[in-house]
Amino acid sequence: MPSTRFTFTVSNLQNVHLTISTPKAILGYLFFCLLGIVAVPTLHAQKPEKSYIRRDHPEGTMYFIEPQAFKAEVRMADGQESSSKGVADFTLDYRDSTASVPSFFTVAFTLPSANALRQVDSAVLVAAGARLGATAVSERYFVEPKGKKWRNRYGARFEPGQGLRWLMGNPELELHLYSPGLVAVMRFGSSEQAIMRALGQVMAIETDLDQ
């Protein structure tokens, strides 16, 4: 069997020889690569402290939770159902009592769909089946084709208290989206919800906006 021999010289000691069979070395290297590719992004993504930005501005503080993955079930008016995967990020713009504009909580999401979303009528924050907030205020960031699908990115603005109570709510966090001829239910995974809950607590403690 072919082998690779490594020789190390350690001071005051005899030469140390390490012999590894070549197929094992190659397999070991590939396994190491695979482990790195799979484990590192997963471990990195599970840390709440790595998943948010806190920045002071003249009238308060802005908190930003980095994009979290969700799975969406999309139901069309003609009865067709499909599923897709997207990401959503969350911004709390906290303004103090002297500020000229109120605080707000924004959910910005990218939802792939078979048809372009021309507009979003309303969005609802749901936790464990209970509606915790609703809004009709949405902003279209962009709608663009990607392959055979469309990438629809919108921002939905909520009352900050509703947003924080939702983030800290029970498991099964959902964002429901209503658009002409389309209803989408976006569900977040357990690791994403854990991050959202932890960071929601950070924002609630620092701003008291959940009271």
Report the C-alpha dihedral over residues 53, 201, 167, 93, rounded to 10 degrees. -50
Nearer to another protein, 92 or 127 (CB): 92
Specify which residues 77 forms β-bridges with: none
64 binds another protein (CB under 8 A): yes
Task: Please give the structure tokens belonging to residue 5.
Answer: 């021999």
Nearer to another protein, 16 or 33 (CB): 33
Closest distance of CB 175 from another protein, Å: 17
Closest distance of CB 41 from another protein, Å: 6
Report how far residue 120's alpha carbon sits from residue 159's, in angstroms, rounded to the nearest whole number: 18
37 binds another protein (CB under 8 A): yes
55 binds another protein (CB under 8 A): yes
Nearer to another protein, 37 or 136 (CB): 37
Specify which residues 175 forms β-bridges with: 125, 186
The strand pair at 60-76 and 122-127 is best described as: unpaired
24 binds another protein (CB under 8 A): no
Distances (CA, A) of 41 to 10, 58, 67, 195: 36, 35, 14, 15
CA proximity to 48, closest of 31, 73, 33, 65: 65
Task: Please give the structure tokens belonging to residue 115.
Answer: 């048809």
Closest distance of CB 153 from another protein, Å: 7
Q: What does the per-residue mask of binding to another protein show for 146-175, with x meaning CB under 8 A? A: -------x-x--------------------
| SS3 at position 59 | coil
57 binds another protein (CB under 8 A): yes
Report how far residue 137's alpha carbon sits from residue 182's, in angstroms, rounded to the nearest whole number: 17
Binding-site member from 6, 16, 31, 44 for another protein (CB under 8 A):
44
Report how far residue 39's alpha carbon sits from residue 44's, in angstroms, rounded to the nearest whole number: 8
89 binds another protein (CB under 8 A): yes
Q: What residues line the site for another protein (CB under 8 A)?
A: 2, 4, 22, 25-26, 29, 32-33, 36-37, 40-41, 44, 50, 53, 55, 57-58, 62, 64, 66-67, 89, 91, 93, 106, 108, 110, 139, 141-142, 153, 155
